[in-house]
Structure formats: structure tokens, C-alpha cells
Homo-oligomer: A and B are copies of this chain.
């Protein structure tokens, strides 16, 4: 079942490795079929070198395995919370990419310093609050999703399609699994540029709002004119 989506999710997981976002098994990508209410996700801790598209696991929206010989990623509950709360998402990614983790560990938002950032993220990429000991003990992965959703209260999650979870690392999402990977790669690259900028000049100010607006809306929304058509991921 869901052969096409399994292949997309598999390809997106492999692309994450090819783009240098993941070593060993330190990442996972999922995709959703919203009509059927099913999510396809990478199995937990399986080696990328031997994994095939048929190893992808199908779960329902409560995380029950519907098909698959492997256990799904241990981060599955986090993915499900994101799909439920952000209805436009078609794919979700989690990585431990170096610069995303750097900001997560430092407990800092990734500031919007320039147009590279603004082309894909309409404002700072936020860092969540700490999870409490109780939240971690009771339902760690579920509450990781909840704290992400809480961080986006009142905001459009498709305008800033990523977050760094405090002391943990980045999650990103998109309209497709491939789009989610694209956003995860951009998140790490703009985090690297922001790290460089802040260590070079700690007093650097954020990009002006009107330049942020210009670049974001040059690529996204009704008046976009970059590319040959829609550039939304």
C-alpha cells in the first residue's frame, strides 16, 4: 500500500544523507496521505546503506503500525502532532544537523539576518522553551510535538517551516517530503551563516522588515515572480 508515498519518503530520507544533514541513523523523514489518514515514516535505527523503500513503515494518526516489518522511528509521535496541528504539511523532517543543533544547544532563535534566510523563512526560526521533567517523563516524543506547536501559536507554520527544539535539534516541514528536506537543508545553511555572522559581529541587527518582505514574497504567494512557477516547498 501507499507505494508512491513510500518511495517519496525513502528518497527524501536518502537525500538527507546525500546533503550531509545526517550521519549514521540520526534523522528521519515522513510523509502523509491526508485522504487516507496514514503516515509513512522511516523505520527506527535502520542503516541507510541497506534500507529500501519497502522498509518504510505505515502508521495511522494514533501511531499504530498499519504495515511494515520494522518499528517506526521513535520520533513518530512528534511527527503526528505536527501533521495534526499544521494541516498544510505533507512531509516532516528531523535531523541533528550541526548548525541547527548549535542554536538548539545555545537556546537561541536563528535570527533572520539576510535574504538567504528570507527566501524561505519569513522571520526568525524559533527555539522552543525547555520541556519540563514531567513532560519528558510522561510522553517525551508527544510533548516534543506539543512544544513545537505551542511555539507557533498565532503564527503561520508554512511561513516559517522549521524550528529548533531546545537542547535537541531541528524539525522542519513542507508541502511534500522532498520539500521538508529542502527546508531542513536551508535551515542548517542559514544557521551556519547566522553563526558566522554573530561570531564575526555580535552587534549585527536583523534584516529590515521591508527586505524580509520583498524576498519572501518574491518567492511565495500570489505575487511571486521567482522561478518558472510555484517555489513553495
Q: Is the CB of A98 within 8 A of B193?
A: yes
The yes or no answer to A2 lying at the interface (CB within 8 A) is no
Q: Is the CB of B114 within 8 A of A104?
A: yes
Q: Which of A6-14, A82-90, A131-139, A146-154 contacts B (4 or more CB under 8 A)?
A: A131-139
Measured CB to CB, the closest approach of chain B to A68, in angstroms, equals 11
> Which of the residues B199, B214, B228 comes within 8 Å of A140, measured between beta carbons?
B214
Q: Mark A24-49, 1 if CB is under 8 A from B, else 0.
A: 11100000000000000001111000
Q: Is the CB of B193 within 8 A of A101?
A: yes
With A98-B193, A211-B136, A228-B46 already in contact, the answer to whether A199 and B200 are too (CB < 8 A) is yes
Q: How large is the interface on A (under 10, 10 to 19, 20 to 34, 35 or more residues)?
A: 35 or more
Q: Is the CB of A200 within 8 A of B200?
A: no
Residue in A114, A137, A140, A194 whose Cβ sees the most chain B Cβ within 10 Å: A114
With A98-B193, A196-B98 already in contact, the answer to whether A208 and B104 are too (CB < 8 A) is no
> Which of the residues B133, B196, B204 comes within 8 Å of A208, measured between beta carbons?
B133
Taking Cβ atoms with an 8 Å cutoff, the residues of A that contact B are 23-26, 43-46, 70-71, 74, 96, 98-99, 101-108, 113-116, 130-131, 133, 136-137, 140, 167-169, 182, 185, 189, 192-201, 204, 207-208, 210-211, 214, 218, 225-228, 231
